[in-house]
Structure 1
Amino acid sequence: MTVSTNAVHESGQNAARQLGQQDHSRRLYVIAVDPETSFPGTPFIERIRAEIGDIAGREPMPATLDELRAEVVRWCAAEADRFEGLVSASADPLTTDSLVRRAALAAAPLALRSGAWLQWQSAPGNADDATVLRILTLYASDVGVGRPQDSRGSVYLSLLRQLHLSEHAAPVARLVHDPRVADHHFHLPATLLAMSRRPEDFRPELVGADLCLRTVGLLPALRLVRQVHPQLVDWTAIDPSAARAGDELSGLQLCLAIVENGFDDGELARVRTGFQWAFTVLKRWSASLFAELDEARDPAYEMAELLRHRAREGAVYHQVFAIAGRSLSDWLQDARTDPSELLAELAKSRLVKPGRSADSPLVNGLVSERGPMFRVFSPADLLVIRRWIDSLPTRQPEPEPPKRAPEADAVSAKLLATVMAGPVDDGREPGDIREAYHLLQQRTDTPAIRRFALDYVRGWLARSRHRMASDPQRLPDVWGREGLRPWLVEQHDRQGRDFEASATTPMPTREELIDSTVQLAPLTLIDGAWLQGFTDYEHAASEQGYFLFETYWDELGNGVPRLNHPLIYRQVLAEMDIKVPPTASREFAMWEGFRDESFELPVYWLSIGRFPRTFMPEILGLNLAMELSGVGGTYRRARQALKKYGFSTKFVDIHNTIDNVATGHSAWAADAVDTYLASLPVSHGAGAVAEVWERVRTGFRSLNPPSGLLARRAFRRARRASRSLATI
C-alpha cells in the first residue's frame, strides 16, 4: 500500500475543502459520510452539545417523552396536510412535477442515510451489552440485513432514480455537488452523522433524535411525493417508523424499547434533549421547504433559480450580446446573487415571446444543433424555461416583491471549524500490545492510535506475504471466473479428511484445554472485530458488504443475548472456573492469566477493522479464512475435547453450523470475494483482478501468518516504512 496515513485520515476533509466556503452543512456532511473518518474530541463534543442545547431550548416543549411524541404526532399530521394541499391546489402537471422533484431532493440528504446515525453504536468492547444489541437490531432492520441494496436509503435511491433525480445521489458523498439541493437541507443529517462518529459521547442524544424521526415517520414533504406517486416504490421501506419485511416489530417499536430499557434517569434527560433538538430543527426545515415549494408553483421562481445557478459560467461568454443596453455578461454577474432584474428584462427581450415558448428563440434556434447555445441547457433546464415563458402574460404586470421564506438552520461556522481542525494529535501511541488491545476496543480514537493501527496492519500484512508461495493452505494463485465455491468445497472435504485422520491423536489434557480456551479469549470475545467497519451504512447494504454485515450481525447473535458469541464464550470460561474482567476494561488487557502473544492477532483484527475501504481486499480474504478455519474439522475436534471434560459445546456447535460451506458464513465469504472481483474489470480494467486477488490472498493468509524470524523481521520493516509514509 502506498497511501499515506494523512490521506487515510483526511479524505473527507479534502473533499469538504473543495466546496464553497459558506456551504457549512454540506461540508460537514461529506466528511461525516466517510467510513474511515476520524472526528476530534473535546472541542467538537462541547460545541455539538452547546448547539444542541441552544436549539432544543428555543421554545417551550412538553416535559416528558410521551408528551413530546404526542406533540410531534399533532404537528406531523397538520404539516402533512399543508404539503398535500399544495398538490391539491395545483391543476398543472408541470407544477406538480416541480413540487415532487423539489421535495424529493430536499429530503435526500436525510432519507439516503435513514438510520445511519446508529452505524457505530456497536464496537468490539461493547458487543455483549444489551442496549447495544437492541440498537444493532434496529440498525440491522434499517440496512435490510441479508439483502443487498435494500437499506431504507437504497430504497430512497430507487425513488430518485424513478424520478430521474439520481445524477449525484450515488455514492452519497456526491450529493453535496448537486446544485439543486440547498445547503440547509444537509444540516440535520450532517449533524447526526457527525455525532455518529463519536458514539460513546452521544448515544442518548442520537437515540432521542432517532425516536423523534421515527415518531414523525414519513416526512411531511415526502407525503406530497407519495400522494402523487403512491405505487412508485415501497413507501413502508422508506418510512423509518414502519416494520421492514420479516420484522416482528416496527422501527418505532424497536426504538421505544431501547429508550425504555437502556438508559438511567440522567441519560433519559439527554435523550429528551436529542429529541427536542431534532424536532426543533425538523420543524424549521419543514417550514422553510414548504415556503419554497409554495413559491415554486410560480414558474418564475424556478427560472430565477436556474439563472442564479448558471450565471457564473454564462458570464464568461456574453460580453457582446446586449439586453436593455447592458451586456448579458454584466447581467449574469448580478444574477449570481439576485436574478430578478435580469428575469424581468429577459421577459421583455426579443428572445422571449410571452405565452408562446414554441415561438421563442431562447428555446428554439439558439439551442438547436446549429445555434450558439447548443447543449448549454439540459432537457430539464429547457422544461423550466418553456414553463416560465408559457406562464408569462402578454402584457407584463408590475413585479411583486419576493416573499421571504422562513429561515432554516445550517451548520455553524464554529462547529465546522472544530471538525476541519481535525483531532488533536497527542503523539502518544499504545505503549505495548496489551494497551493497544484496550485502546482499540472502542470506535473513537486519536491520530496516534489510528496511526498505530495503520502501521500494525501494514506490518502484519508484510509478515503474511513472506514466502506465501510455499504455504500449502494458500488460496489458488489465480482467481477463476468459476468463482471460489468449487475450491471452498474441496477445502471442506480436506478438513473433514484431516479430522478423520486425527481420530487416534490423543486429546489434550483438561489443563491444556482450559489454557487454550483462556488464551483464545482476547480473540474470541471480540468475535467479528475484523468486520466492524462494515457496519458503516454504505458498506452494510452494498453488493459485497451486505455479506460481511450479516456475518457480523450473526457473530453478535442477531441482537439476542443468548446467541451472542462473546456471551456464550464467557459461559464456557465460567464452567472452567475462569472469571475474566469485562472485555473493554483495562483490567482485561492487563490480566495476568493471558500471555502477551495472545493479543497479537486480536490487535490485528481491531486494527484492520477500522479501514474497510483502504483494506477491502485484505478483509475479504481474512474473512474467508476466518469463516472456513474450523468448519468440518477443528470445531469437531474441539467439541470432542469439551464434551470429554463436561464443558458446554454450544460455542463450537453454533460455529460449525453457521459457518457451513453451502449456505453459511464460509459460503457468504466466498461469494463476497467473487462479487468484488467480478466487478473490477468494469471499473478498473482487466489487469486490476490479478493485483486485487494477490491482496485477497494476503488477507487470507493473515489469519495464520508465518512466525519465523524472517517473517517477523518483515513485519517490523513494514511498520517502519509505514511510519515514514505518515509524513508524506
Structure 2
Amino acid sequence: MNAHTGFPLPDLTTSLPRAPFHFSPKAAEEAAAVIAGELAGVFRQLLGDQESETTLLVSRRTLEAFLTTAQSESQPPSQPSSQPRGDADADAVAAWVQQTRAELAPDLVALREADPETRELVLRQRAPLALIGGCWLDTVSQAATQPSVIVNRLFGQYFLLQGEGIPQRGQLARRRRALTELGVHLPEIEAADFLRQASARPLTVLHASFHLALSRLPASFLPEVVGVHYAMAALGVDDLLLGTEPHLPEAEARTVLADYLSLTDRSPTGDEDRRRTLTAIALVLRLEREHTALLTELAAWHEGLSLDARVAQIVARHAPFAGRQHRSVRMGDRRLSDWLDGEDLDLAAFVAEFRASRQLRPGRDGTCRFLKSIKFGGPMFGIFDEREAATFTAWAHAVAAGEPADLDFAPNTAGDDRAEGWARALRGTAAEDLADVVLADAESGLDDRRLFHRVVNVEQYPHILATARDRAEAGLTDAEILFTHGAGGRLTNAEYFDYTPEALMERVERVYWDKLVDPYQPLTEIPDRDEVIFEQTTFALGSLIDGSWAHRIGNLGRNHRQSDAMLFGIYADEMGRGDVTKNHITLIHQVLASMDIHLPHIRQPEFLEQGDLPDHLYGFSIHQVCLSLFPDTLYNEILGYNLGIEMFGLGEMRLHEIQKLRRHNLDISYEEAHLSIDNFSAGHARQSADIIVSYLDDVRRTSGDAAVQQEWRRIWRGYASFAYFVEHQLVKRMRAGERTPAASAPTVQPDDVDLLI
C-alpha cells in the first residue's frame, strides 16, 4: 500500500485549488468572436452549448469581467456600506442582504401592482433571469467535487428546486405558471427567439449571462456559487415581483451558508474562500439593484408613453414582418411597403403621416378603414393582439376627436448606461491576457492516468474535450462487436435486437434471471483477506465516479423530456439526494478505508501516482466520464449505458462480494446500497428500462417508427459499451476469432470481468 495520507472523510473541501485553465487557440478565436458579436450571442452560446471548450472560455471571460469588476470597483453611492467583515457569521451576512431586500421591496411591490400592461412588460423583461434561477447549481455535483459536504448540501437544495425529480413541481415550472397567470407567455428559454419575445434589454442579457457562466464552471468557482446561491435566495426579487412564496426559503439557504462559513474556519484557504464568497454576494446585491432600477426605468418609460408613442412601438414590432403585400396602399406620397421596408424607419414621421392618412379618417358609420381592416373579416385581422388592437382603437378615436399629436418619442434606454460598463468589461477580457488561462492544444498520446485526470478536471482542461469525444466514440464503435456475439456474456447480453417495449422488457428480464439471479449459489470457500481486498481494488475506480455518466442530465434548457427527469432522479439517488452519508462516493471511500486503503481524491494530482488501483482498469472509467461530457449529442448512448450499469448492481456478483466482505469484517455499505436501490421491481434497474421506453415513445410521437429504430440502435450501443468493459474474456475470445460458448459457470472469477461497479 502507498504511504500517502489519502483523502479523509468527511470531505470538508471549501474550494478546489487554483489551477490554470487550458484552452486551445481555436477555442480562443471562437470565444473572441462570440464576445465581439451581439450580446444575445453570448447568452445563446452559454445556454445552448454545454459540450464545447468555446463555451467554457466564454464562461471564464464572463466571470472575469463581473468578478474582477466587483472586486476592484468601489461601492456605488446608493449601496449601503454595511458589508460585514471577512470573519462575519451567516447571521451577519443575512442582515446585510436583508438590508438590500428591504431597500428593493417597495419598488418591486410597486411594479407588481402597476397597471396590467406595465406589469406584463416588466415581468417579460425579468423573465430571462427568473427562468434561469438556480442554474449555478446545475453541475456543482460532479466527479471533481463529490463527496464534498458543502457540495452535497448545495445539491440537496438543487434537488428541491428541481422538484425532487418531478419538474412540474420545481421552481422553474412554478415561475412559468405564475408568469402565465399574469399574462406573460414566452417560449422555452432555449428557443431561438426567447430573448426577442422577452424584449430583453442589454443589461438583462448580461446579467443572465453571468449566472449561466457560473453554471458552467461551478467546481472552479465554488465559493462564488455559495455566495450567489444564498444572495439570490435571500433577496427573492422574483418572488416579490410575482407575488409568490419562495420555493427555497431564506432560512434554508442560510443554513447552507452557515455550514460553508463554518467549514472555512477549518480550511487552509478559508480566509480567501470567505473573501470570494462575500465578493460574490456583493456582486449579486449590485446586480439586483441594477436590474430593479432597470425595471423601474422601463415601467416609467412605458407609463410616460403617449398614445402616438404606443402606436409607434406597435409599428416597430411588426414592421420587420410586414413584407411587400402593402404595395397598393399609399400613405402620403409613398407606398406603405416603402415606409416599412426601410432599415431606419422614422417612427415619428410615419405616425404623423398615419394620423393624416385616409385610412384613419372616420367614415359615415364613425369607423375608419384601418380599424375595419384589423377586425374579423378584414385583411389585417389576426396581425395584432387584443391589447395592440385596443391601443389602435383608442388612438384612432383620439385622433378623430382632434387631440394634438405628441411625436416627441423618448427611446427606451432602460439599463443601457450600466450595460455599457459591463459590456466594456466583458470585451476587455482577452483570453491571452488572463493570468490563469493557458492557450495550447491538448497533448497527444496521453496515458490513461493522465487522460483520466484531465477529463475528471475538465473545467481546468477544456482543451481535452475533442480527445474525450474521440475516446467515447471509439469505445462505442468497438462495442458494436457485441451486437453479434453479446449473448455469450456472463453478466450481460448485448446482442442486437429490433426495439419494441415488449422486446426490451423481455431482454432485461432474461438478463436479470438467467445471468444475475438464477446462477447464484452462496460461496462455499471464501478467499483470504488479501485476495478480497485486491478484488475490491479492481472495482474501486469505477465506484469512485459512481453516477457521473448522468451528472449533466437535466441542466437548464434540457429538462423537458420525462426521460430527463427520470435519469436525473437516478443521479440524485446515487448522490444521496444531498445527504453526504448516503452518497455513494462517500460509501466507497468508507469501504476502502475499512481495508486500510486511503486514496487521494481522483481530482488531485496525487491520484496520478497512487499505486493501489491497477493501471489496466482506467479505460472503463475514462469511457464513463467521456460519455458524461456530451449529454446532448450522446444522450441516447448515455441512456443505454445507464441500463447496463444499473442492472449490474444486482444478483450473483454483488451477493458474493457481500459474503466475502462480511467474512473479513470489511465494510459492506456500498454493496448493500446497490443491491437495494438497483432492485428490478421498482429500483434503478427497472427505472432504467422505463426511461428508454419513455424516450422512444416521445420519438415515435414526433418522428415515427423508422426514427425509433435509428434512435434505439444508438441506445443499444451505449448498453454494449458497458458490456464491452465487463465481458473482458468474451471480447478477448471474439478478438481472437474463437467461437463463443454460452456461459454457465455459477460464479464470476476476477479475471472473467475487467471491472465491476
Residue 282 of structure 2: aligned partner: 276
What letter is aligned with 1:480?
Answer: T
Please point out which of 297, 301, 314 is paired with 1:306. 314
Residue 109 of structure 2: aligned partner: 81
Quote how far apart the aligned CAs of 1:656 are: 0.7
Helix, strand or coil for the counterpart of 1:364? helix
What letter is aligned with 1:133?
Answer: N
Please point out which of 523, 538, 552 is paired with 1:519. 538
Quote how far apart the aligned CAs of 1:193 are: 0.5
Q: Distance in 1 between matches of 2:340 and 2:324?
A: 9
- What do residues 157-214 of structure 1 show as CA deviations (whole Å, max 9, x unaligned)? 3344556644532545541342633343222121111122122333223332232221
Compared with structure 1, are the counterparts of its residues 358 and 577 closer, same or farther at alpha carbon in structure 2 (3 Å cutoff)? farther
Please point out which of 200, 204, 210 is paired with 1:181. 200
Q: How does 1:489-500 map to 2 (within 5 A)?
A: 489-495=509-515, 497-500=517-520
Q: Bigger CA drift: 354-363 or 523-532?
A: 354-363
Q: How does 1:185-196 map to 2 (within 5 A)?
A: 185-196=204-215
Q: Distance in 2 between matches of 1:42 and 1:185?
A: 19
Q: How does 1:392-411 map to 2 (within 5 A)?
A: 394-397=401-404, 399=406, 401-402=408-409, 406-408=414-416, 409-410=418-419
8 Å contact from structure 1 (residues 79, 220) kept in 2? no
8 Å contact from structure 1 (residues 430, 439) kept in 2? no
Please point out which of 358, 363, 366 is paired with 2:371. 363
Please point out which of 631, 638, 642 is paired with 2:661. 642
Compared with structure 1, are the counterparts of its residues 290 and 391 closer, same or farther at alpha carbon in structure 2 (3 Å cutoff)? farther
8 Å contact from structure 2 (residues 109, 241) kept in 1? no
Compared with structure 1, are the counterparts of its residues 173 and 331 closer, same or farther at alpha carbon in structure 2 (3 Å cutoff)? closer
8 Å contact from structure 1 (residues 677, 693) kept in 2? yes
Quote how far apart the aligned CAs of 1:54 are: 5.5
Q: Distance in 2 between matches of 1:300 and 1:423?
A: 55
8 Å contact from structure 2 (residues 128, 204) kept in 1? yes
Q: Give unpaired runs (5+ residues) of structure 2.
A: 1-22, 85-92, 488-492, 738-757
Is structure 2 residue 450 aligned with structure 1 residue 452? no
Compared with structure 1, are the counterparts of its residues 517 and 54 closer, same or farther at alpha carbon in structure 2 (3 Å cutoff)? same
What letter is aligned with 1:431?
Answer: L
Residue 152 of structure 2: aligned partner: 133
8 Å contact from structure 2 (residues 122, 298) kept in 1? no
8 Å contact from structure 2 (residues 449, 608) kept in 1? yes
Q: Distance in 1 between matches of 2:529 and 2:541?
A: 20
Quote how far apart the aligned CAs of 1:657 are: 0.7
8 Å contact from structure 1 (residues 311, 335) kept in 2? no
Q: Distance in 2 between matches of 1:416 and 1:675?
A: 44
Compared with structure 1, are the counterparts of its residues 355 and 149 closer, same or farther at alpha carbon in structure 2 (3 Å cutoff)? farther
Helix, strand or coil for the counterpart of 1:436? helix
Q: Distance in 2 between matches of 1:692 and 1:269?
A: 49
Q: Distance in 1 between matches of 2:391 and 2:624?
A: 54
Residue 33 of structure 1: aligned partner: 47
Residue 415 of structure 1: aligned partner: 426
Residue 47 of structure 1: aligned partner: 65
Quote how far apart the aligned CAs of 1:684 are: 2.4
8 Å contact from structure 2 (residues 152, 579) kept in 1? yes
What letter is aligned with 1:79?
Answer: D
Helix, strand or coil for the counterpart of 1:638? helix
Quote how far apart the aligned CAs of 1:56 are: 7.0
Quote how far apart the aligned CAs of 1:368 are: 5.7
Compared with structure 1, are the counterparts of its residues 665 and 511 closer, same or farther at alpha carbon in structure 2 (3 Å cutoff)? same
8 Å contact from structure 1 (residues 680, 689) kept in 2? yes
Q: Distance in 1 between matches of 2:259 and 2:194?
A: 33
Q: Distance in 1 between matches of 2:365 and 2:290?
A: 37
Q: Distance in 2 between matches of 1:283 and 1:400?
A: 32
Is structure 2 residue 102 aligned with structure 1 residue 62? no
8 Å contact from structure 2 (residues 360, 396) kept in 1? yes
- What do residues 415-452 of structure 1 show as CA deviations (whole Å, max 9, x unaligned)? 26869999945232461100011111134154530011
Quote how far apart the aligned CAs of 1:307 are: 1.6
Is structure 2 residue 108 aligned with structure 1 residue 102? no
Q: Bigger CA drift: 193-202 or 106-115?
A: 193-202
Q: Bigger CA drift: 336-345 or 143-152?
A: 336-345
8 Å contact from structure 1 (residues 113, 537) kept in 2? yes
What letter is aligned with 2:319?
Answer: A
8 Å contact from structure 1 (residues 29, 190) kept in 2? yes
Quote how far apart the aligned CAs of 1:129 are: 0.9
Q: How does 1:239-278 map to 2 (within 5 A)?
A: 239-242=246-249, 250-251=252-253, 253-255=255-257, 257-259=259-261, 261=263, 264-278=270-284
Quote how far apart the aligned CAs of 1:358 are: 8.3
Compared with structure 1, are the counterparts of its residues 66 and 147 closer, same or farther at alpha carbon in structure 2 (3 Å cutoff)? closer
Q: Bigger CA drift: 339-348 or 36-45?
A: 36-45
Q: Bigger CA drift: 102-111 or 58-67?
A: 58-67
Helix, strand or coil for the counterpart of 1:652? helix
Q: Distance in 2 between matches of 1:475 and 1:160?
A: 49
Residue 231 of structure 2: aligned partner: 212
8 Å contact from structure 1 (residues 133, 560) kept in 2? yes
Q: Distance in 1 between matches of 2:622 and 2:364?
A: 71
Residue 434 of structure 1: aligned partner: 449
Helix, strand or coil for the counterpart of 1:679? helix
Percent identity, please.
Answer: 21
Residue 145 of structure 1: aligned partner: 164
TM-score, length-scaled by structure 2? 0.80
8 Å contact from structure 2 (residues 581, 587) kept in 1? yes
8 Å contact from structure 1 (residues 284, 406) kept in 2? no
Quote how far apart the aligned CAs of 1:568 are: 1.5
Helix, strand or coil for the counterpart of 1:453? helix
Helix, strand or coil for the counterpart of 1:580? coil
Residue 623 of structure 1: aligned partner: 642
Compared with structure 1, are the counterparts of its residues 482 and 519 closer, same or farther at alpha carbon in structure 2 (3 Å cutoff)? closer
What letter is aligned with 2:423?
Answer: S
What letter is aligned with 2:673?
Answer: I
- What do residues 519-559 of structure 1 show as CA deviations (whole Å, max 9, x unaligned)? 22221111111112215234456411122222222212222
Quote how far apart the aligned CAs of 1:483 are: 7.5
Q: Give unpaired runs (5+ residues) of structure 1.
A: 1-5, 88-95, 227-234, 244-248, 715-728
Quote how far apart the aligned CAs of 1:301 are: 4.5
What letter is aligned with 1:32?
Answer: L
Is structure 2 residue 206 aligned with structure 1 residue 158? no
- What do residues 102-150 of structure 1 show as CA deviations (whole Å, max 9, x unaligned)? 2331121112111001212222022111111112112111111221443
Q: Distance in 1 between matches of 2:214 and 2:439?
A: 17
Compared with structure 1, are the counterparts of its residues 136 and 671 closer, same or farther at alpha carbon in structure 2 (3 Å cutoff)? same
Matched residues, number: 674
Q: Bigger CA drift: 300-309 or 446-455?
A: 300-309
Q: Bigger CA drift: 542-551 or 648-657?
A: 542-551
Q: Distance in 1 between matches of 2:494 and 2:292?
A: 57
8 Å contact from structure 2 (residues 294, 415) kept in 1? yes
Q: Distance in 2 between matches of 1:709 and 1:369?
A: 75
Q: Distance in 1 between matches of 2:465 and 2:247?
A: 34
Please point out which of 354, 372, 397 is paired with 1:346. 354
Residue 20 of structure 2: aligned partner: none
Quote how far apart the aligned CAs of 1:504 are: 5.4
Compared with structure 1, are the counterparts of its residues 630 and 42 closer, same or farther at alpha carbon in structure 2 (3 Å cutoff)? closer
Q: Distance in 2 between matches of 1:292 and 1:51?
A: 25
Q: Distance in 1 between matches of 2:323 and 2:72?
A: 42
Compared with structure 1, are the counterparts of its residues 591 and 476 closer, same or farther at alpha carbon in structure 2 (3 Å cutoff)? same
Quote how far apart the aligned CAs of 1:506 are: 3.9
Quote how far apart the aligned CAs of 1:470 are: 2.0
Quote how far apart the aligned CAs of 1:477 are: 1.0
Q: Bigger CA drift: 689-698 or 420-429?
A: 420-429
Q: Distance in 2 between matches of 1:610 and 1:419?
A: 26
Root-mean-square deviation (Å): 3.6
Is structure 2 residue 541 aligned with structure 1 residue 534? no
